[in-house]
Structure 1
Amino acid sequence: MQILCATDFSLAAMAAADVAAALAKKLQISLRLVHVVQDYIVMGDLPVVVPDENHFREQLKKEAARLRDTGIPVAEELRHGSASFEVVDAAAEKPTRLIVLGSLGKGMAERWLIGSVAERVAEEAAVPTLVVRQGELLLEWMKGESALRLLCGVDFTASADAAIGALKTFVPLGKVEVEAVYVRPPEDPISGPELQDVRRRDVWERLHAILGDLPMNVHVQDEDGRPAADFLRTADEQRAALVVVGTHQRHGWQRLKAPSFSRSVLAHAVTNVLCVPASAVETEGRIPPIRRVLLATDFTETCGHALRHACSLLPAGGAIHLVHVCHEPTRGINPVIASEVYFDHSLATAEDKRKAVEKFQSLAATFPQAPGVVITSEVLANSDFSAAICEAAERKGADVICMGTKGHSRAGAALLGSTVQAVLARAHKPVFVVTPPLV
């Protein structure tokens, strides 16, 4: 196991290397120091000045020798290509516990470690990435001169669990003070000042399940449309030396649909930031808690049966979010050629949604409330039922997707076996399938 530190020989990169060396010494593992030389592509007969590679090699040896003076083994490596790609690739080649980067490197390879490269590494690497901005705070803590104030974002998702799990790397190294922040989104079923204690308890239990008996404080805030800004404001108020966030590492269209919280934090934080990919969460030996269940329903006679099973998954209280998916006209239909058909389908979808809302209201009036369980509902329209269910589960931070089978109504087509199989194939969460009761 190793810590990988990327450097461009700037002052910011040297500060990051000092932190990486101190962490490697504390964890009793080796340090791998990497510098990437950009490849130059010559177009036609245009002149190009190719830098002296020997110069970079000498600087790398000098920096590695400086770090070896701290008493740790240091391996040096010169690579060629794109900085972010090579750093991620180097971390994947050998077992790597952590990647350490400086955030404002402006040395010989100007802009080599400016935000965009650090962000790309954090978004691509399969291991946590530590971006060092105030290295002296981390060094003072590792020397035993001060406590490390850790601020962790929690939102009941796999990426948040990964971020909490990453704290276990720092807890044994010195005195730590853990602060957790839950920024409550507008659609959170737990709302109102009198119910904030419920969410604070949920967050504390999540932390306790992963970190064990460790003193910690939990803050619950209402989102004002800028969750990253709210989170960083708390980091400033708490004087956090290290901000820890999870990342789903979304790309392309997925990022447009769900703006990256971790990227915003990494771009605007003034202190050290640890980005932890969701894939890095340690699940072996730990029983994952279930606090939120997403129940997909088609309003057949098995609906109440499935809802009772969903409540059975939450013996200590939690939240159940009911989802019904109405068929939506295919978005690719040409409204000029088939405008009448498209219009009729749109009216039918609107009518189905209205009826579904009424059925949810009736269901809420007849189903007995389970102690401590909050039940909310939502009607969606989508041509792809399984995609709508999986996206809702991610958006709501559900721990489990609960689905019934064998719907018999016209709307039951939404939850027939093929849809259940599609959800099983594409969901990143456990799926609890409820079969009809024996008569």
Structure 2
Amino acid sequence: MQILCATDFSKAAMAAADIAAALAKKLQLPLRLVHCAQDYIVMGDLPVVVPDDQPLREQLKREAQRLRATGLEVVEEFRHGNASPEIIDAAAEQPTKMIILGSVGKGMAERWLLGSVAERVAEGASVPTLIVRQPDLLRDWLGGEAALRLLCGVDFTASADAAIAAVQTLVTLGQVEVEAAYVRLVEDHIISKEQQDARQRDVWERLHAILGDVPVKVHVSDVVGLPAAEFLRTADEQKSGLLVVGTHQRHGWQRLKAPSFSRSTLAHATANVLCVPSAAGLPETCIPSIHRVLLATNFTDVCTEALRHAHGLLPAGGAIHLVHVCHEPSSGINPVIASEVYFDHSIATTKARGEAEVKLKALPASLLSVPGVAITSEVLTHHDIAAAICEAAERRGADVICMGTQGHSRTGVALLGSTVQAVLAVSHKPVFVVTPPLS
């Protein structure tokens, strides 16, 4: 195992190398210092002057010697090629605990076209990447001279769990004041105070399950715009010296379709950022376990069957959260008829919500009590039923979404309902679809 630090010999890179050396000594790991020189390009039959790499090799050697003076084992490596893929490949070639890079700010135009080496490495590496922007804070923390204020982004996903696991490691290295921020993107749906308190409790339980008894201060907020902007605002307010975020490492069209929280944080944060990929929190040989199931129900017969299967997913015990979503109109309707629509619909929604609450309470009673399985329920109102189901799954920390569908066609092909299809299209969690038994 090693700490990998890439350098271009700039002031920012040297500061990052100092942090990498201090971290490597703390973890009792060797430091691998890498410099990537650009390959020269041959254009047709034009004469080529091959650049002399010797000055760069000498500079790399001097930087390695400077770091060895602290008593650390340092391995230097000179590579050719594009910096970001070379750094990613270097980390993959040998067991690597963390990649550490310095970062120099870029203008919006340059970042839009190319991004930065640090951002591209963080998005592509299979190990955590630390982007050093405030080295003094990290140096004082690793030296035991000051506590580090840390803010971790959480959202009930595998990448967030990986980020929390990384925080657990950081806590062992020095005094850390841990805070967590959960930012939920909303459109026009306003949640109640009780729902907000429940979400804050769910976030704390998720943190406690991974961090144990580490004290954590939790911030919960809803935003209409970019969640990353709210996260960074919280970081500025709390004067956080290190931001820890997970990443799904989406690329291409997926990243354009859903703006990346981690990429936005990396691009605009002024603090140090530790970006943790999902793979870093879950070993490849580890089999995922199911502890919480969210069951979306509309009270048809197949939903009772789905509840039986939800119990079957929890042989070792766990929790089932029943959710029913009452549809409400979107605010985007014609304002001329809006008041009439909302008036008529509010009466129907209130009635439907009351009926749903009664049915939800009666539904678990239709099955035998299963020891070790707790059942909770809630009724939601939302203009997008599939979105409400997915949001509830994230908020409750569900490992699986369980849903029933109406049956089979004459040819035996399952007819998935529109809500099931919509959930399958947008959910980041596994979806267990239950069809009624063949008669």
- Structure 2 counterparts to residues 108-257 of structure 1, below 5 A: 116-186=116-186, 191-257=191-257
Determine if contact 1:154/1:203 at 8 Å carries over to the other structure.
yes
**CA distance in 1 between partners of 2:432 and 2:262 (Å):** 30
**CA distance in 1 between partners of 2:281 and 2:392 (Å):** 19
Deviation at 1:436, TM superposition (A): 4.7
| Residue aligning to 1:384 | none
- Structure 2 counterparts to residues 1-150 of structure 1, below 5 A: 1-46=1-46, 50-104=50-104, 116-150=116-150
Provide Cα deviations, 1:341-386, integer angstroms capped at 9, x if missing partner: xxxxxxxxxxxxxxxx99x9798366224774334477989xxxxx
Determine if contact 2:3/2:98 at 8 Å carries over to the other structure.
yes
Question: Which sits farther off after the overlay, 277-286 or 212-221?
Answer: 277-286
- Relative to structure 1, the CA distance from residue 294 to residue 244 in structure 2 (aligned partners, 3 Å threshold; closer, same or farther) is farther
- Give SS of 1:173's match: coil
Determine if contact 1:165/1:282 at 8 Å carries over to the other structure.
no
**CA distance in 2 between partners of 1:70 and 1:228 (Å):** 38
| Residue aligning to 1:364 | 356
Determine if contact 2:134/2:272 at 8 Å carries over to the other structure.
yes
**CA distance in 2 between partners of 1:16 and 1:68 (Å):** 15
Deviation at 1:404, TM superposition (A): 3.9
Counting matched residue pairs gives: 388
Determine if contact 1:402/1:433 at 8 Å carries over to the other structure.
yes
**CA distance in 2 between partners of 1:395 and 1:66 (Å):** 53
Amino acid at match of 1:227: P
Provide Cα deviations, 1:1-36, integer angstroms capped at 9, x if missing partner: 011100000010001011111111111111111000
Deviation at 1:194, TM superposition (A): 3.6
- Relative to structure 1, the CA distance from residue 321 to residue 62 in structure 2 (aligned partners, 3 Å threshold; closer, same or farther) is farther
- Give SS of 2:150's match: strand
**CA distance in 2 between partners of 1:236 and 1:432 (Å):** 41
- Relative to structure 1, the CA distance from residue 288 to residue 5 in structure 2 (aligned partners, 3 Å threshold; closer, same or farther) is farther
- Relative to structure 1, the CA distance from residue 267 to residue 48 in structure 2 (aligned partners, 3 Å threshold; closer, same or farther) is farther
- Give SS of 2:172's match: helix
| Residue aligning to 2:331 | none
Determine if contact 2:13/2:102 at 8 Å carries over to the other structure.
yes
Q: Give 5+ residue unaligned stretches, structure 1.
A: 325-356, 382-387
- Structure 2 counterparts to residues 277-426 of structure 1, below 5 A: 277-282=277-282, 284=286, 289-290=291-292, 293=294, 295=296, 301-307=301-307, 310=310, 320=323, 364=356, 367-369=359-361, 372-376=376-380, 397=394, 399-404=399-404, 407=407, 413-415=414-416
Provide Cα deviations, 1:386-422, integer angstroms capped at 9, x if missing partner: xx99xx8599635203144771589994349xx99xx
Amino acid at match of 2:356: A
Q: Give 5+ residue unaligned stretches, structure 2.
A: 328-347, 365-374
Deviation at 1:45, TM superposition (A): 4.4
Deviation at 1:430, TM superposition (A): 4.4
Identity %: 64
Amino acid at match of 1:373: S
Determine if contact 1:103/1:115 at 8 Å carries over to the other structure.
no
Amino acid at match of 1:364: A
- Give SS of 2:415's match: helix
Deviation at 1:115, TM superposition (A): 5.3
Question: Which sits farther off after the overlay, 241-250 or 167-176?
Answer: 167-176
Amino acid at match of 1:269: A
Determine if contact 1:33/1:74 at 8 Å carries over to the other structure.
yes
Determine if contact 2:326/2:353 at 8 Å carries over to the other structure.
no
Provide Cα deviations, 1:162-193, integer angstroms capped at 9, x if missing partner: 11111122111111111000112216988233
Determine if contact 1:88/1:125 at 8 Å carries over to the other structure.
yes
- Give SS of 1:367's match: helix
**CA distance in 1 between partners of 2:320 and 2:239 (Å):** 34
Determine if contact 1:189/1:376 at 8 Å carries over to the other structure.
no
Determine if contact 2:38/2:80 at 8 Å carries over to the other structure.
yes
TM-score by length of structure 2 reads: 0.76
Deviation at 1:429, TM superposition (A): 4.2
- Give SS of 2:401's match: strand
Amino acid at match of 1:268: H
**CA distance in 2 between partners of 1:188 and 1:319 (Å):** 23
**CA distance in 2 between partners of 1:233 and 1:30 (Å):** 36
- Relative to structure 1, the CA distance from residue 231 to residue 281 in structure 2 (aligned partners, 3 Å threshold; closer, same or farther) is same
Determine if contact 1:164/1:207 at 8 Å carries over to the other structure.
yes
- Relative to structure 1, the CA distance from residue 173 to residue 76 in structure 2 (aligned partners, 3 Å threshold; closer, same or farther) is same
| Residue aligning to 1:271 | 271
**CA distance in 2 between partners of 1:188 and 1:64 (Å):** 55
| Residue aligning to 1:351 | none
